[in-house]
Amino acid sequence: MVRKLFFIFLIISLIGVVCASIFYGIEIEKNANLIYGLSKDIKISKPKATHPLDLECNKEILMIVDFNPLYFNNWLQKGQSFEFSLSCSGVEPISYNWVVDGVSVSDVDSFTFDSRNYVLGDHLVIGYCYDDLDNYNSKEFNLELLDSSDFTLIVLPDTQDYAKNYPEIFLKQTNWIKDVKDKLNVVFVTHLGDVVDGGDSDESQWISSKESLSLLNGIIPYGLIIGNHDYDDKAKTRSAIFWDNYFPLADYNNYSWWGGNFDNTTQNTYQYFASGDFEFLIFHLEFCPRNEILNWANQIILENLDKRVIISTHSYLYSDDTWVDASDRWDCTEYGIEGNNGDEIWDKLVRKHKNIFLVLNGHILNDGTGYLESNGDKGNKIVQILSNYQCLVNGACINGPTGYLRIMRFNPFLNKVFVQTYSPYLDNFNVNLGHEFSFDLIEGDLDVSSKFGDDPRDSS
């Protein structure tokens, strides 16, 4: 009987030793696993197990219970600071270490990244925590340090799928924009139309979209385009009762950045934004804009020759990098309204003006991307970009909705615009062809007043 009890005890002891070896790493490598020079002599043995850590023999687990920031991808302007923090639970005492680009910088649970001490570009920040059983855990963050003169335009493509089926993603997008306003120096947000999927079929889509966009009110200037799905009958006519009710003129026209509107609605509008000495005028023109809308925009531009001009409209560039015309799918003739396709918008508006440098649109499916550079009548280069990430785009939602938007970062020092495609919902970048690129601004400098010269009306 004694021998049997001895063997049972021996087996239990062996199981305990095996568990301890697997999950706590009995063979402590002296000094070999020190992480980037800790401030005190903590010997670390990485957990050897690839099995779940909730087995009976592992009662104490080192867990990260809270951290800041919430995203892996982060940005910061030169001259600013960024607060990182980590909170862990496990066998006391718990110690911490913060490492930036391989160098230990702090041994407490929080760390202030002072941008004055770092060069521009990407920096890898890792927070480590260790418990008294030599377990460790870590959280990684990427921080891109930007020049202090950089500023950002956020492009929100068609949100119709989110309004219809995933309102939490739309909310995530605008919450993120609000959160990074200062870090990315976001000066304006342009929505490319199709805010909702069914303009008259489901009022809950309007309610959730209004809630998401309202997060920007009074914080970041923004403009909206009425897309074909935003009309009461999906653009069989231009009836837009729901649009006018949920995005009334009174919600916007008292802001200092508001420029003006056609008629008494927000279906055709223009706004101003600036960063430093650089001033911009941006239009938000209806789906397939009518001739009177293009004539109105022409006149507004002639009154603002000292500003760079951006045209945002719902349909303009096709996915084959050409202007939408009557031979393309989803052109104006597929709907009941009268209006101008992309090739006509180019001829009647875009090509005429020396200070137009950028045209943005959504709407078109296929792969949802397009890029075209053209020279206007005055020899100026005009960049035209299609962005669409709704679920009907090829491959867009194979693994579920993505929530991608475009970050357009203006760098005056390099005279460039850097375009990234990022999802706050997934916290990742789309780096595939056509989703990450850069382009030059107007040649020479950003002083548009000297670049554009005299009012062309004076020479007629």
CA distance 116 to 328: 52
**Torsion angle, CA of 114/119/123/129, rounded to 10 degrees?**
-40
**171-187 tens-digit pLDDT:** 999 999 999 999 999 99
The encoded tokens of residue 219 equal: 């914080």
Mean pLDDT value across residues 397-405: 87
CATH of the domain spanning 21-146: 2.60.40.10
195, 230 contact by CB (below 8 A): yes
Alpha carbon 29 to chain centroid, angstroms: 44
pLDDT for the residue numbered 442? 64
Handedness of CA 258, 159, 219, 117 (dihedral sign): negative
Question: How far apart (Å, rounded) are the C-alpha atoms in residues 285 and 315?
Answer: 10
Measured distance CA(94)–CA(17) in Å, rounded? 24
Mean pLDDT of 85-110: 95
Q: Where do the CATH 3.60.21.10 domains begin and end in the chain? A: 151-459
Q: What is the pLDDT of residue 91?
A: 85
pLDDT in tens, 187-219: 999 999 999 999 887 899 999 999 999 999 999
Is pLDDT of 362 > 80?
yes
pTM, two decimal places: 0.84
Whether the pLDDT of residue 59 is over 60: the answer is: no
Reduced to 3 states (helix: H, G, I; strand: E, B; else coil), residue 344 is helix
Predicted local distance difference test score (pLDDT) of residue 368: 94
pLDDT surpassing 80 at residue 407: yes
Average per-residue pLDDT in the chain? 86
Buried b (16+ CB within 10 A) or exposed e, 273-310: bebeebbbbbbbbbbbbbeebbebbeeebeebbebbbb
369: nearest Cα among 384, 358, 385, 383: 385
pLDDT in tens, 412-438: 999 999 999 999 999 999 999 999 999
Task: State CA 316 to chain mean position distance.
Answer: 22
Mean predicted confidence (pLDDT) in 2-23: 46
CATH code assigned to 151-459: 3.60.21.10
pLDDT band at 42 (very low <50, low <70, confident <90, very high): very low
* 71: exposed, middle or buried (Cβ count in 10 Å: 0-12, 13-18, 19+): middle
User: Phi, psi (5° rounding) for residue 113?
Assistant: -85, 110
More confident residue, 381 or 457: 381
pLDDT on residue 449: 40
In the chain, CATH 2.60.40.10 sits at 21-146
- In this prediction, residue 194 carries a pLDDT of 97
Q: What percent of the chain has pLDDT over 70?
A: 83
Local confidence band at 157 (pLDDT 50, 70, 90 cut-offs): very high
pLDDT of residue 60: 55
Asked if residue 50 has pLDDT above 50, the reply is no
Which residues, 6+ apart, have CB-to-CB distance to 69 below 8 Å? Answer: 82, 84, 141
